[in-house]
């Protein structure tokens, strides 16, 4: 299995004015011909909120062109490139094609799929599209994150090549469904909590949602005016 790269991105922190405060975020990014990926993230791609972004389990953020196309067609919206603040946009790919623990080689790197992304309200705020974050979550088109096994450069002409698939049951899209409704998928959630390659922070959130019987979007995913 092989996926082509459409674009590579890195971003610097900017200020965004909300109704009652100022938000700093590196959400808006610029296209690159090459990026360097380390254990802790993409070089020169700022992570303002290190609690919820970046780190060894969230070194690289990917969004698929297939999800862009799905959202544009279903909801009749127009999305700019890097609308979701990703580091890499992949062609011919969707969240249903990617499974937890998948290992990909790309350029000099070796990367492992660690979790679905958990998008926040910033997506709606920066794009100016009402309820876009809510839509991503409800449609389970969240994108996904990877940890770095081998550091190195990735160029726009490189491709993502599947080297190993250890799990054939839990795609990124299906895991997002479990996160959205852990009560409905309780059996699957309990299985997911035992998968070593699923990021610990994500497991903790998934377990908490199940125990507290939380269904649907989180407060931090609702639009902020």
- Per-residue pLDDT band at 121 (split at 50, 70, 90): confident
* Residue 225 clears pLDDT 60, i.e. is over it: no
- Which residues make beta-bridge pairs with 164? 103
- List all residues 6 or more positions away from 211 whose beta carbon is below 8 Å from its beta carbon: none
Q: Rounded to whole angstroms, how far apart are CA atoms 96 and 108?
A: 26
Q: What is the pLDDT of residue 21?
A: 67
The length of the chain is 225
- Per-residue pLDDT band at 13 (split at 50, 70, 90): confident
Higher pLDDT, residue 185 or 53: 185
What are the phi and psi torsion angles at 103 (to 5°)?
-115, 125
Of 3-17, 61-75, 136-150, 176-190, which gets the smallest average pLDDT?
Answer: 3-17
132-141: buried (b, 16+ CB within 10 Å) or exposed (e) per residue? bbbbbbebbb
- List all residues 6 or more positions away from 182 whose beta carbon is below 8 Å from its beta carbon: 189, 206, 209, 210, 213, 214, 215
Measured CA to CA in angstroms, residue 185 lies from 35, 118, 122, 177, 206 at distances of: 38, 18, 28, 8, 11
Average per-residue pLDDT for the chain: 92
Higher pLDDT, residue 20 or 39: 39
Strand, coil or helix: 52: coil
* Residue 43 clears pLDDT 90, i.e. is over it: yes
Q: Where are the beta strands (DSSP E) in the chain?
A: 2-11, 14-17, 22-25, 29-32, 34-38, 41-42, 60-64, 88-90, 103-106, 109-116, 144-150, 152-155, 159-164
Q: What is the pLDDT of residue 15?
A: 73
Span 176-192, average pLDDT: 98
* Residue 23 clears pLDDT 80, i.e. is over it: no
Q: What is the pLDDT of residues 140-176, one digit of tens each?
A: 999 999 999 999 999 999 999 999 999 999 999 999 9
Provide the token pair at 188: 């699957």
Higher pLDDT, residue 103 or 125: 103
Measured CA to CA in angstroms, residue 83 lies from 77, 87, 194 at distances of: 12, 11, 33
Q: What is the pLDDT of residue 46?
A: 84
- List all residues 6 or more positions away from 206 whose beta carbon is below 8 Å from its beta carbon: 178, 179, 182, 189, 192, 193
* Residue 223 clears pLDDT 70, i.e. is over it: yes
- Answer whether 0.85 is exceeded by the pTM: yes
Q: What is the pLDDT of residue 161?
A: 98
Q: What is the pLDDT of residue 122?
A: 83
Half-sphere exposure of 10 (CA within 13 A, CB side): 17
């Amino acid at each position: 299995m092989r996926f082509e790269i459409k674009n590579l991105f890195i971003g610097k922190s900017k200020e965004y004015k909300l109704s009652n405060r100022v938000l700093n975020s590196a959400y808006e990014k610029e296209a690159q011909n090459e990026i360097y990926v380390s254990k802790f993230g993409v070089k020169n791609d700022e992570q303002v909120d290190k609690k919820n972004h970046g780190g060894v389990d969230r070194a690289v953020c990917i969004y698929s062109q297939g999800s862009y196309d799905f959202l544009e067609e279903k909801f009749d919206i127009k999305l700019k490139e890097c609308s979701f603040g990703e580091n890499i946009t992949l062609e011919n790919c969707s969240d249903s094609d990617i499974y937890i623990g998948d290992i990909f080689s790309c350029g000099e790197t070796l990367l492992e799929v660690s979790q679905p992304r958990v998008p926040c309200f910033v997506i709606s705020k920066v794009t100016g599209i009402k309820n876009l974050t809510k839509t991503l979550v409800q449609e389970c088109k969240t994108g996904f994150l990877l940890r770095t096994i081998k550091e190195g450069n990735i160029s726009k002409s490189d491709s993502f090549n599947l080297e190993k698939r250890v799990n054939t049951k839990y795609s990124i899209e299906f895991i997002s469904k479990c996160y959205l409704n852990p009560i409905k998928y309780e059996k699957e959630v309990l299985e997911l909590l035992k998968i070593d390659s699923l990021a610990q922070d994500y497991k903790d959130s998934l377990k908490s949602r199940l125990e507290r019987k939380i269904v649907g979007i989180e407060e931090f995913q609702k639009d902020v005016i």
